[in-house]
Amino acid sequence: MMVLMLKITLLSLLLVAFAVVTAQAAAQLEKAVFAGGCFWCMEPAFEKLPGVTDVVSGYTGGTGKDPNYQDYGKKGHVEAIEVNYDPSKISYAQLLDVFWRQIDPTDPGGQFVDRGPYYRSAIFYRNEEEKKIAEKSKEELAKSGKFDKPIVTEILPASTFYAAEAYHQDYYKKNPLRYKFYRSGSGRDQYLDKVWGKDRNKEDPKASATDPKKMSKEDLKKKLTPLQHKVTQEEGTEPAFNNEFWNNKKPGIYVDIVSGEPLFSSLDKYDSGTGWPSFTKPLEPGNIVEKQDRSFFMTRTEVRSKAGDSHLGHVFNDGPPPTGLRYCMNSAAMRFVAKDDLEKEGYGQYKNLFAN
């Protein structure tokens, strides 16, 4: 009995000691809050820094309570990230150095393709020491000669930070292909490469995890349904009048099922009477590759996606004005993104197409 009581006492002491150590470790962590436009694009560079334990996407800076993705701008908030870090491993000043290399600090109207006050850049300080460090960092950047326009990034007192919806967290990991095409189309990397060259922290755009051409055959089979695989990888054709989008009349865009690259818009879709989704022109001609197809004892023009290298269908010269073309596509090769989901899905640059 005595031995049992001793074991229980020792176990209790160990649990208490563990709780104390855990609490101390948590107490040593600090938080830094930065706004730099799209929060999806701000997470990656910070998450791989030594000493950073977590990065959360969210909303802050406004007065409205409990903002969400639909109303945060109306409540005065901006998209931001909260960086949780160990100050014994990385300093606040070092985080600021990384922050400046992710944004255009001279743009008062937003960041890159994302426009509006809710996409503006800002540093939210939590105490006077952070404020001094941030102001010094901004001053040094202005003197560096990197920019020929004033640095307009705001330095503001921190307010309540609201974590964004779960699907926004680590978006670049959960949806690597969609993220890649959003980021590439946003102009962020092109600008940062021009200003900073190789002297900046950024994810490798050639990483195999986000390159559909480097996906293995096994990965493609796991990602795609049997019909999608047959159409995109084996140049198959789905049944007419028995496919997902042949009669779809909803507004939105069609993207490659493998890579997520934008292909066609509902604004250019028409009823060709063939039983397959048909378009008069591509949404992004640069994402379309045309090849001569001599299969089945005839000559046709095959249509493939550039990045995904997916077989999409064929293009014919019997379409309506103004192009006279009929891009006859397979539904199984595409995914439809409704207009109300464009921003959420990473295709916000196409919202204005459906403004009227």
**Which amino acid, 257?**
I
Weakest-pLDDT range from 18-27, 306-315, 333-342: 18-27
Rounded to whole angstroms, how far apart are CA atoms 155 and 124?
Answer: 6
* Greater pLDDT, 189 or 221: 189
CB 299 within 8 A of CB 305: no
- Residue 70 C-beta-side C-alpha neighbours within 13 Å: 2
Closest to 253 measured CA to CA, from 180, 346, 184:
346
Q: What is the pLDDT at residue 11?
A: 61
Domain ranges of the chain: 28-196, 214-354
Q: Catalytic: which of 328, 329, 337, 342?
A: 328
> Kind and range of the H or E element at 53?
strand 52-60
Whether 41 is catalytic is: no
Question: Going along 226-342, which residue ranges are E strands?
Answer: 252-256, 262-265, 269-270, 278-279, 288-293, 300-305, 311-316, 326-329, 334-338
SS3 assignment, position 145: coil
**Structure tokens, 172:** 């670049």
Tokens 């950047």, residue located: 141
Provide the mean pLDDT of the chain.
87
What is the Cα 106 distance to its own chain's centre? 23
Return the H-helix or E-strand segment holding 135: helix 128-143
Q: For 28-196, CATH number?
A: 3.30.1060.10
| Confidence category of residue 205, pLDDT binned at 50, 70, 90 | very low
Residue 4 confidence (pLDDT) above 80: no
Closest CA to 347 of 79, 99, 78, 40: 40
Mean pLDDT computed over 2-20: 55
Q: With beta carbons less than 8 A apart as the criterion, state whether 162 and 118 touch.
A: no
Taking the CA atoms of residue 25, residue 125, residue 182 and residue 335 in that order, the dihedral angle to the nearest 10 degrees is 60
Between 2 and 69, whose confidence is greater? 69
Per-residue pLDDT, 12? 58
pLDDT band at 24; cut points 50, 70, 90: very low
Judge whether residue 3 has pLDDT over 70.
Answer: no
- Of these residues, 38, 307, 312, 329, which one is catalytic? 38
d(CA 72, CA 57): 13
Instruction: State pLDDT tens for residues 258-290.
Output: 888 899 999 999 999 999 999 999 999 988 999
38 carries an active-site annotation: yes
The C-alpha atoms of residue 318 and residue 272 are separated, in whole angstroms, by 10
**In the CATH scheme, what is the homologous superfamily, with its name and number, of domain 214-354?**
Peptide methionine sulfoxide reductase. (2.170.150.20)
In angstroms, the CA 223 to CA 233 distance is 12
Question: 212 pLDDT exceeds 70?
Answer: no
Strands lying side by side in the sheet with 121-125: 154-157, 121-125, 30-36, 78-85, 52-60, 162-163
